[in-house]
Structure 1
Amino acid sequence: MNIKPTLIILAAGMASRYGGNKQTESFGPNGETIMEYSIYDAIKAGFGKVIFIIREEFAEAFAAQIEPKLSGKIEIDYAYQSLDSFSNDIQFSKERTKPFGTAHALLCCKGKVNEPFAVINADDFYGSDAFNKAYIFLTQEIQDDLFACLGYELKNTVSEFGAVTRGEIKTNAVNEIVSINERREIILKGGEIISLEKDKQEILAPDTKVSMNFFCFTPAFIDWMEDKYYQFLSENWDELKAEFLIPEVADQLINSGSARIKVIATDAKWFGVTFKEDAALVKEELLKLSNEQTYPIDLWDVKLH
């Protein structure tokens, strides 16, 4: 019997730059959230389960919004991320309220997922091509020492409204990642894409491959990064802005020689909401896709299998 892969959705972020809970905000023509389009594409591709990583205090409201739509369509589970998750009883500063980022969130799924899985952001639209290719990799190629990352072109992932964080991917001759450089401040300026990392400006090529936090792993990755998280905590427990991020942990994995990560190129069009001003563009794009009948106007009023 073939094991269906799981989709893990990172939905616990504070969205401080956006100024609201963008993970559950309506963007589609019938009130759909962005992540609903990812779930729709995942179900059509063949995924069997979705795990939402959320903050426990919002669990009841989150479930009330999402579960009626997904009932009977895909298995649902939850993992909860908080600052104290996997904390080793460390007493953090009262000024630190946010958990430690996307890899910390994924660690909160330990024991919840026992099959190959894809992990994505809740507030990014990835496109059906990405999920179809991820499904093929997760069911035909993945091993405990061979993972994958969906690669997007940088020019299609920046915002005209402010700085974004992107994982710059460098590959070898067989299209496996050599390094992932997490650039935390990429802006558009004068028609060019510029990285402001470490107080210096660097112009980046528009076709630079970047990670949008769409990775394909087995549970072995979660087990491997647990020790890395404890090491991270020992060095950063008193830092107010330190983050334990999936691309950076994946880069450590590659450098350790413990596994390889191949890049799966996708021609899917990405868009997402980092800033409030991005919302109008996302709504326009989703309406356009519905009008083109790429997606139904009412996303869940259809048979998916």
Structure 2
Amino acid sequence: MSTKQEKLTLVILAAGLGTRFGGSKQLAEIVGLDRTIMELSICDAVKAGITHLVLVINENIKTEIEQDVLPRLPTGLNVKLAIQDRNNIPLDFKHLAVERIKPWGTGHALLSAKPYVSGKAIVITADDYYGKSAYQLLANELLADRPNNNSQWSLVGYPILDTLSEHGGVNRGICQVDENKHLQQVNEFLEITYQENKLSGLNHTQVREAISTESLASMTIWGFDETLFDYLERGFVEFLSKYDSAVQKEYYLPNQIQKAIDTEQKKVTVLRANESWLGMTYRSELSDITKKLNQIFKGGSIDSCQSNK
């Protein structure tokens, strides 16, 4: 745990509708552990020095979160619920919310947490498991005492080979990193698979392109400070102004971080993960992840996160 006393907040984006999963996968409990994936992540984060938690949720799951999840969380953790409401947009664009059905995207979700975040924070998604050491990596980076340090954002990148699926191609953001371990760009590739013993994926032009097996993938685990909210607020207004079809498009967090890198030379440090990432899109993947998580948490390590009961 960090020796510093500075407050660290964990923000979990848990407002997705789970359309492809067939329900609220944020609330799917892991058999044998009787915890959701996000509870396992919270346990890991607390051990790395997290003292505050913000759960960004949709109104439909608020009651279940309050009744089932909150009582199981570690004692002493300061917890806030932030509702991602599609009507919570600047006044000039309220008419767009009338036609909007799904949430506005991860950028808007993180903006929903703004009232509850001060200081340094880590943001993750609810249905991904990042490994115990990921939080310590980010905590060490965020709390590092460096002269003239302007690299206050960070990202844990996962070796691409550790994020592939046995069930078919995957979509991943491949990180381009400079010699100073700063993020230059995240390039989205679709249907990443091995073909003829070579790793490749479809690039933005839908052309299959070779991908280095040494590449790191961005799996949406970022470290940031409060200045990120300023970028997100400005960017959201630009997003709503630019797209006539904004009721269909999504406002993505990674896109806004990329914009800060490109236009304002923001430094984002890329940290290489020490453990594998686990995640699921479809309910059929739950069984395999259940086995792996039970192996990771065997021996009762989840019990060391005392609940509020």
What is the aligned counterpart of 2:129 among 125, 137, 140?
125
Q: How does 1:133-152 map to 2 (within 5 A)?
A: 133-140=137-144, 146-152=152-158
User: More deviation in 158-167 or 62-71?
Assistant: 158-167
Determine helix, strand or coil for the equivalent of 1:140.
coil
The offset of 1:94, in angstroms, is 6.1
Determine helix, strand or coil for the equivalent of 2:12.
strand
User: Could you say if the C-alpha distance between residues 237 and 93 of structure 1 is closer, same or farther in structure 2, counting changes exceeding 3 Å?
Assistant: farther
Alignment gaps of 5+ in structure 2: none
Whether the 8 Å CA contact 2:154–2:222 is kept in 1: the answer is yes
The offset of 1:289, in angstroms, is 1.5
The offset of 1:144, in angstroms, is 6.2
- Counterpart amino acid of residue 210 in structure 1: A
Paired with 1:192 and 1:29, the residues of 2 have a C-alpha distance of: 37
Determine helix, strand or coil for the equivalent of 2:29.
coil
Q: Deviations along 1:85-112, whole A, 9 cap, x unmatched?
A: 2243332376631122111110111221
What is the aligned counterpart of 1:34 among 37, 51, 56?
37
User: Could you say if the C-alpha distance between residues 236 and 193 of structure 1 is closer, same or farther in structure 2, counting changes exceeding 3 Å?
Assistant: farther
Q: Does 1:59 align with 2:62?
A: yes
What is the aligned counterpart of 1:168 among 156, 168, 174?
174
Q: How does 1:96-107 map to 2 (within 5 A)?
A: 96-107=100-111
- Counterpart amino acid of residue 167 in structure 1: G
Whether the 8 Å CA contact 2:193–2:200 is kept in 1: the answer is yes
Determine helix, strand or coil for the equivalent of 1:198.
coil
Coordinate RMSD, CA, aligned: 2.3
Paired with 1:98 and 1:164, the residues of 2 have a C-alpha distance of: 23
Q: Does 1:72 align with 2:75?
A: yes
The offset of 1:215, in angstroms, is 0.3
User: Could you say if the C-alpha distance between residues 65 and 2 of structure 1 is closer, same or farther in structure 2, counting changes exceeding 3 Å?
Assistant: same
Q: Does 1:218 align with 2:214?
A: no
User: Could you say if the C-alpha distance between residues 14 and 246 of structure 1 is closer, same or farther in structure 2, counting changes exceeding 3 Å?
Assistant: same
User: More deviation in 152-161 or 130-139?
Assistant: 152-161
Paired with 2:21 and 2:72, the residues of 1 have a C-alpha distance of: 25
The offset of 1:154, in angstroms, is 1.4
User: More deviation in 238-247 or 112-121?
Assistant: 238-247
What is the aligned counterpart of 1:243 among 250, 263, 267?
250
The offset of 1:193, in angstroms, is 4.3
The offset of 1:14, in angstroms, is 1.4
Q: Does 1:13 align with 2:16?
A: yes
Whether the 8 Å CA contact 1:104–1:229 is kept in 2: the answer is yes
The offset of 1:248, in angstroms, is 1.3
User: Could you say if the C-alpha distance between residues 148 and 163 of structure 1 is closer, same or farther in structure 2, counting changes exceeding 3 Å?
Assistant: same
User: Could you say if the C-alpha distance between residues 97 and 162 of structure 1 is closer, same or farther in structure 2, counting changes exceeding 3 Å?
Assistant: farther
State TM-score, norm by structure 2: 0.88
What is the aligned counterpart of 2:184 among 158, 164, 178?
178
Task: Report what 1:284 is aligned to.
Answer: 291
- Counterpart amino acid of residue 126 in structure 1: Y
Paired with 2:285 and 2:16, the residues of 1 have a C-alpha distance of: 17
User: Could you say if the C-alpha distance between residues 220 and 23 of structure 1 is closer, same or farther in structure 2, counting changes exceeding 3 Å?
Assistant: same
Determine helix, strand or coil for the equivalent of 1:134.
helix
Paired with 1:5 and 1:128, the residues of 2 have a C-alpha distance of: 16
The offset of 1:3, in angstroms, is 1.8
Determine helix, strand or coil for the equivalent of 2:104.
coil
* Residue identity (%): 27
Alignment gaps of 5+ in structure 1: none
Paired with 2:84 and 2:176, the residues of 1 have a C-alpha distance of: 30
Task: Report what 1:188 is aligned to.
Answer: 193
- Counterpart amino acid of residue 138 in structure 1: L
